[in-house]
Amino acid sequence: NIHSHSLNWTSLPPDNPRLPSLPCGCYGQAMVKIVEGREDGAGHSFAIAISRFNKPVSDGLLEGALHTLARSGVRDEDITVYWVPGAFELPMACRWLAETSRFEGVIALGAVIRGETHHYEHICHQATRGILDAGAATDVPIALGVLTCETAELARTRSAPGPDNKG
C-alpha cells in the first residue's frame, strides 16, 4: 500500500538539521510516499525457529506468533515450527530455513534472561546480529521475536497471552 501525504515543512526554521532536503532547495509542500506492508498472509508459508531454553516463555511467544499468523490469514499447514536448543542456535537455524526456499518468511522466537555472568550480553549480541545477517544474506524476511529481559518476570509478562505478547 502506498499513500501520499502532504507535509508542511514551513513551520521548521530553514537551518533545522532535521529538515529533509527538498527538490529545488525550496521549503514548503512536499509529497511523501509511505509504504506499508499488508497484513494478509493467506497463501504464504512461514517457518518459526524457536529456542527450547526458557521453554515456558518460548511457549507463550509461540502461541502469540501462531495467533498473529492465523489472524493474518495464514493456514496451519503453511506454518512449520523448528525447535533449537537456545537463542545462540537461532541464527543458524533461521539461515538454513531461509535458504531452503520453502518459506517466504521466518520468525525467530526465544528469550534470553540476564543472569549473574556476562553470558547474557554475548548471547543477546550474537543472536540478534546473527539473525540480522541471516536475513541480509538470504533476502528472506526474518522477524526478530527474541526477548532480552533483565528478569524472568519481565519475560513472562511479555510472553503471556494478550496484546502485550511479543511473539
Percent of the chain with pLDDT over 90: 63
Question: Does residue 4 carry a pLDDT above 60?
Answer: no
Give the confidence band of 40 by pLDDT, cuts at 50, 70, 90.
Answer: confident
Q: How much of the chain is helix, strand and coil, in % rounded to 5? A: 40, 25, 35
Tell me which residue of 112, 104, 111, 34 sits closest to 69, measured CA to CA: 104
Cβ-contact 80, 44 below 8 angstroms? no
Query: How many Å apart are CA 118 and CA 112, to the nearest integer?
Result: 12
Give the confidence band of 21 by pLDDT, cuts at 50, 70, 90.
Answer: low
Question: Does residue 20 carry a pLDDT above 70?
Answer: no
Give the confidence band of 2 by pLDDT, cuts at 50, 70, 90.
Answer: very low
Cβ-contact 159, 167 below 8 angstroms? yes
Question: Does residue 24 carry a pLDDT above 60?
Answer: no
Among 25-39, 54-68, 71-85, 148-162, the minimum mean pLDDT is found in 25-39
What pTM was estimated for this model as a whole?
0.78
In terms of DSSP H, where are the helices of the chain?
A: 55-71, 90-99, 119-138, 152-159
C-alpha cell at 23: 527538490
Cβ-contact 109, 79 below 8 angstroms? no
- Which residues are identified as catalytic? 119
Query: How many Å apart are CA 102 and CA 116, to the nearest integer?
Result: 40
Report in angstroms the alpha-carbon separations of 89 from 41, 65, 85, 137. Answer: 27, 19, 7, 17
Write the pLDDT tens digit of every residue in 118-127.
888 999 999 9
Among 38-42, 106-110, 149-153, the minimum mean pLDDT is found in 38-42
C-alpha cell at 156: 513472562
Write the pLDDT tens digit of every residue in 46-96.
999 999 999 999 999 999 999 999 999 999 999 999 999 999 999 999 999
